Amino acid sequence: MTDRPRFDSQADITRRYDRMAPIYDLYDAPMEWLGTRRRRQRLLSHTEGRTLEVGVGTGKNLEHYPEGTRVVGIDVSKGMLERARRRADRLSMPIVELQLADIHQAPFDDNSFDTAVATTVFCSVADPVAGLREVARVVKPGGSVLLLEHVRPRNTLLARLFDLLNPFTRRVFGFNINRPTEDNVTAAGLRIEQVTRKGVWREIMAKVPADHTGSGP
C-alpha cells in the first residue's frame, strides 16, 4: 500500500480544522484519556534547544515541554492558533512563539531548529513526504524529529477496513487513518532511530542525517 501524494488540497483540509477548532479539544478528549496524553508527555521529554512544533493545534503539547525549551509553533488554522495563544497565556510561557504557516513551505531558514515535534499532524498534511522534507530542511543536521502518529494497521483485514473508512474520516474531519508514516519519514530523508509501536500508534524518534544539506534528499 503506497500513500497517494494528495487526497485534498491543504486549503480544503484547513477549512475543516477551522470549522472544528471551537470543539476540537472536546472531540479529542476520549483519545487523550485513552493514552494520547501519556504518549505526548513521553515523546516531548526528548526535546531540547530551539524547537519547532508543526501543527501546534490548540496547544495541548505546550505544558509538556521541558523547562527552558524555546518553542516556535506553527499551524495552518487560524482558529486553532487562537486557542493555542490563549493556552500559552494561561501557562505563562514567554518562550513560545506562534504563527500561521504551512509546513509545505516553512517560513524558516535552513538549519534553524535543534528539534522538531509533530503529534497527530502528518495524518492531515496534504503531502506528508513534502512536509517532512521541509522539517528535515529547517532542523539542523544531527537534530531530532519527534513524531506521534496513528498509521495504517499491519493486520491485513484491519488495514482493508481502515482503507474503506478513510474517505469518510478524510472528508469529514480532514485526517487520514491509513498512512504509512514510517515509510514517509524514511522517504523524506530522515533516519529513524527508534519506534515505539502500540496498536496503530507510533512514537517515532528520527534524526536529520549529519550530511544533510538542507535542500532535501
C-alpha cell at 34: 485513552
- For residue 128, is pLDDT > 50? yes
Q: Which pLDDT score is estimated for 33? A: 81
* Mean pLDDT across 109-127: 95
- For residue 174, is pLDDT > 70? yes
**pLDDT tens, 5-59?**
444 677 777 777 777 777 877 877 777 888 889 999 999 999 999 999 999 999 9
Fold held by 10-207 = Rossmann fold (3.40.50)
Least-confidence region, from 27-36, 142-151, 194-203: 27-36
pLDDT band at 217 (very low <50, low <70, confident <90, very high): very low
* Mean pLDDT across 198-206: 94
Q: Domain map of the chain by residue range?
A: 10-207
- Report d(CA 186, CA 120) in Å as an integer: 18
pLDDT band at 133 (very low <50, low <70, confident <90, very high): very high
Query: Is the pLDDT higher at 44 or at 216?
Result: 44
pLDDT band at 214 (very low <50, low <70, confident <90, very high): low
Write down the pTM of the prediction.
Answer: 0.87
